Amino acid sequence: MSDNPFHTHLPRNPKEFVAFMLVIAVISVNTIPVVIGGLTAGFTVAMWTDLLRVMPVLLVTVVAVVLLTMKPAHMLTARLVRPGDSFRAHMILNALCSVLLISLVMTVVGTWIGTQRVSTEPLEQFAHLWPRNCTIAFLVEALLAQPVARQVMRRHHQRVDARAAVTAA
């Protein structure tokens, strides 16, 4: 057990990390592209069904990009927070750093996946697209995906810790 009172809110081992990341990725991939696609092409059933077709590819891509940007995001976060900063400060800044890096990649790659064609359009429109996409992604991550994933971890750890306490008694 850790001295950190929020130890129950974060994954403790690789198996829990995978579950934590999948909760965040599933929420994000089912929310962020829908909002971005709706703002780009209009909120229609056709837009939503087109997105449903590419969701599996988006999910795999997002997980890969998260894994590739995780270490740089942690390094950037470590430069911004101090040991005495609150858990929430660490989580918000980590979400911001992660989203910043992930959104740089996904603004281009996500557009290619969503339109099902590789073009220079997302590169040409990057300065217009990226701030909006980054803001939407950050809001979804900070207000929905990560809090839900931390709550899932907290409830899981409450059950695990209760079983361990009964076994130890």
pLDDT in tens, 120-136: 999 999 999 999 999 99
Helix boundaries (H) for 81-115: 87-115
Do the domain assignments include residue 19?
yes
Do the domain assignments include residue 5?
no
Domain extent, residue 103, equals 11-168
Do the domain assignments include residue 6?
no
Do the domain assignments include residue 3?
no
46-51 contact pairs (CB < 8 A, 24+): 50/114, 51/114
Token reading at 60: 């795999």
Query: Model-level pTM?
Result: 0.85
Token reading at 85: 């900063």
Query: Which residues have a Cβ under 8 Å from the Cβ of 12 and sit 6 or more positions away?
Result: 157
Contact 121, 111 (CB under 8 A): yes
Quick one: residue 163, left, alpha or beta (phi over 0 = left, psi -120 to 50 = alpha)? Answer: alpha
What's the structural domain count of the chain? 1
What pLDDT score was predicted for residue 5? 54
Do the domain assignments include residue 131?
yes
pLDDT in tens, 40-91: 888 899 888 888 999 999 999 999 999 999 999 999 999 999 888 888 888 8
